[in-house]
Amino acid sequence: MKSSMDTGLITNEVLFLMTKCSELFVQHLAREAYAASCSKETSDTLKYEHLSHLVNKSSNLEFLLQIVPEKIRVHTFQEMLRLNRSGTTSDDDDDDDSESESESESDE
Amino acid sequence: MVERIEDLNLPNAVIARLIKEALPDGASVSKEARAAIARAASVFAIFVTSSSTALAHKQNHKTITAKDIMQTLTELDFGSFVPSLSQDLEVYRKVVKDKKDIKASKKDAADASASGSGAATEEAT
């Protein structure tokens, strides 16, 4: 995992720490999302929507916004596109973002 | 080096087990949610690593230390992880030390027995 970055040497100790850290993160994410979902609904299934909601809400999960985007409906997306085109500012960045969102939408 | 995003994913079974541990009994997790958590976890690992690397470089260090990671976590608003992590780290250090000790004592024993058997064969001849 870590070889993907331009990191220098990694000691075994740090490797262990990162593993443990990722573990804690996974559990943290699951617990938080589940707690948030249970307070609202009665169902006991953790769904993608709960996660994306949590990511949108918490400031320390900001870096996941692109990774776990909120789902949007196709027609909402089309509406956004139309607005984007009618307004002369059609940023490439914006397009990329919306594309990834529409991809997750099509997964449904 | 990394050709597909999926290559970075952490093992699915491990993720599933961790989620199960974190949630109360009877709770279920949708497939999509599990995939999202797996993705999030790998991104998190890379994110923390690169942040700690940056931090270490800033201090003119080439290797990341445990302290760098702790500091990064605090800066990223994950300070809640630090106490349990340092606890785990201590346990880990102890285990490593014990292993080393055992290895050292084993080596001593092996040396002793080797010399012992050497003496025995000498006697036999």
Whether the predicted pLDDT of A77 surpasses 80: yes
Instruction: Please tell me which residue, B47 or A40, carries the higher pLDDT value.
Output: B47
pLDDT, residue B26, reads 79
CB A14 within 8 A of CB B73: no
By C-alpha distance, the chain B residue nearest A67 is B40
The CATH fold of domain A9-68: Histone, subunit A (1.10.20)
Instruction: Please tell me which residue, A2 or A15, carries the higher pLDDT value.
Output: A15
What value does the mean pLDDT take over residues B88-110?
Answer: 90
Beta bridge partners of B29: A46
By C-alpha distance, the chain B residue nearest A26 is B41
DSSP summary character for residue A41 = -
Concatenating the DSSP letter of every residue in B64-106 gives --HHHHHHHHHHTT-GGGHHHHHHHHHHHHHHHHHHHHHHHHH
pTM tops 0.90 = no
Residues B66 and B113 in one domain: no
pLDDT, residue B99, reads 92
- Residue B110: its H or E element: helix B82-124
Residues B63 and B40 in one domain: yes
Percentage, residues of chain B above pLDDT 70? 86
Which residues in chain A are closer than 8 Å to B76, comparing Cβ atoms? 60
Would you kindly state where each structural domain of chain A is located, as residue ranges? Answer: 9-68, 71-108
Instruction: Please tell me which residue, A46 or A2, carries the higher pLDDT value.
Output: A46
Residues B42 and B13 in one domain: yes
pLDDT, residue B105, reads 92
Residues 18-47 of chain B with CB under 8 A from chain A are: 18-19, 21-24, 26-30, 32-33, 36-37, 39-47
Domain count, chain B: 2
* Most confident of the ranges A27-41, A94-108, B29-43: B29-43
pLDDT, residue A7, reads 65
What value does the mean pLDDT take over residues B48-66?
Answer: 86
Contacts of B17 (CB under 8 A, 6+ apart): none
| A12-66 pLDDT per residue, tens | 888 888 888 888 888 888 888 888 776 776 677 888 888 888 888 888 888 888 7
Residues B10 and B51 in one domain: yes
Domain span holding position B64: 1-77
Whether the predicted pLDDT of B66 surpasses 80: yes
